Chains A and B, each alone.
Chain A
Amino acid sequence: MSAMSPRADVAVSLIQVAKSYGDVEVLQPFDLQVAEGEFVVLLGPSGCGKSTILKMIAGLEEVSHGEIHVAGELVNYVRPRDRDVAMVFQNYALYPHMSVRDNIAFPLTMSRRPRLKRGVIEARTVTAADIVDLTPYLDRKPAQLSGGQRQRVALARAIIRQPAVFLMDEPLSNLDALLRADMRTSLLEVHARIKKATLYVTHDQIEAMTMADRVVVLNAGRIQQIGRPRDLYTAPANTFVAQFIGSPRMPLHDLEVRDDGILHFADVTLTGDADVPLAPGASVTVGLRPSALRTTSSASACFVGEAKRRDYLGSDSYLEVDLGEGLSVVVRAEADAEVRPGDTVRVDADPGAIHVFDEAGARICGASVCRRER
Chain B
Amino acid sequence: MTAMHTTEHKKRGAVASKDRARSGLPRSRPAISLSYVILFVGVAIALVPFLYVVSTSFKESTSLFSYPPDWIPSPIFWGNFESLFADHPFAQWTFNTLFVSGAVTALKLWFDSMAGYALAKMEFAGRRGVALLLLLSVAIPISALIIPMFFVVRYLGLLNTYWALILPPLANPLGIFMARSFIVGIPDDLEASARLDGASEFTIYRKIVLPLIRPGLVVLGMFTFMLQYTSFIWPLIAVQDSDRQVLAVGISGLQSAFLQDWGLLSAGMLAAAIPITVVFLLVQRAFVFNDLSGALKE
**Binary interface profile of A, 77-90, with partner B (CB < 8 Å = 1, else 0)?**
00111010111011
Residues of B bordering A, CB below 8 Å? 2-8, 11, 187, 189-190, 192-200, 203, 207-208, 211-212
Beyond A95-B208, A174-B2, whether A143 also contacts B7 by CB under 8 A is yes
Select one of B2, B3, B192, B198 contacting A87, CB under 8 A. B192
CB distance from A325 to the nearest CB of B (A): 49
Beyond A97-B7, A143-B8, whether A92 also contacts B197 by CB under 8 A is no
CA distance A59 to B194 in the complex (A): 12
Q: Are B189 and A89 in contact (CB under 8 A)?
A: yes
Chain A interface mostly = loop
Q: Are A81 and B2 in contact (CB under 8 A)?
A: no
Q: Are A60 and B212 in contact (CB under 8 A)?
A: no
A38-66, CB < 8 A from B: 55, 58-60
In the complex, residue of chain A having the shortest beta-carbon distance to the beta carbon of B203 = A110
Chain B residue numbers with a CB within 8 Å of A59 are 195-196
Residues of A bordering B, CB below 8 Å? 55, 58-60, 79-81, 83, 85-87, 89-97, 106-107, 110-112, 141-143, 157, 161, 174
Chain A residue numbers with a CB within 8 Å of B211 are 97
Chain B interface mostly = helix
Can you give 28 A-B contacts (C-beta < 8 A)? A55-B192, A58-B196, A59-B196, A81-B199, A81-B200, A85-B196, A86-B197, A87-B192, A89-B192, A89-B193, A92-B2, A93-B4, A93-B189, A93-B190, A93-B192, A94-B4, A95-B207, A96-B4, A96-B6, A110-B194, A110-B197, A110-B198, A110-B199, A110-B203, A111-B198, A157-B193, A157-B197, A174-B2
Q: Are A91 and B7 in contact (CB under 8 A)?
A: no
Select one of B7, B197, B200, B207 contacting A161, CB under 8 A. B197
Chain B residue numbers with a CB within 8 Å of A106 are 194, 197, 199
CA distance A106 to B192 in the complex (A): 13
CA distance A112 to B197 in the complex (A): 12
Q: Are A143 and B5 in contact (CB under 8 A)?
A: yes
Total number of residue pairs linking A and B with CB closer than 8 Å: 80
Chain A residue numbers with a CB within 8 Å of B208 are 95
Q: Are B192 and A96 in contact (CB under 8 A)?
A: no
In the complex, residue of chain A having the shortest beta-carbon distance to the beta carbon of B2 = A91
CB distance from B118 to the nearest CB of A (A): 17
Q: Are B192 and A91 in contact (CB under 8 A)?
A: no
Q: Are A86 and B2 in contact (CB under 8 A)?
A: no
Q: Are B187 and A91 in contact (CB under 8 A)?
A: yes
Q: Are B196 and A91 in contact (CB under 8 A)?
A: no
Beyond A91-B189, A95-B208, whether A107 also contacts B197 by CB under 8 A is yes
Known: A59-B196, A79-B195, A112-B198. 13 other contacts (CB 8 A): A80-B192, A80-B196, A87-B192, A87-B196, A91-B3, A91-B187, A91-B189, A92-B4, A95-B194, A96-B212, A106-B197, A107-B197, A157-B193
CB distance from A87 to the nearest CB of B (A): 5
CA distance A80 to B196 in the complex (A): 5
Residue among B11, B189, B196, B207 with the most chain A CB within 10 A? B196
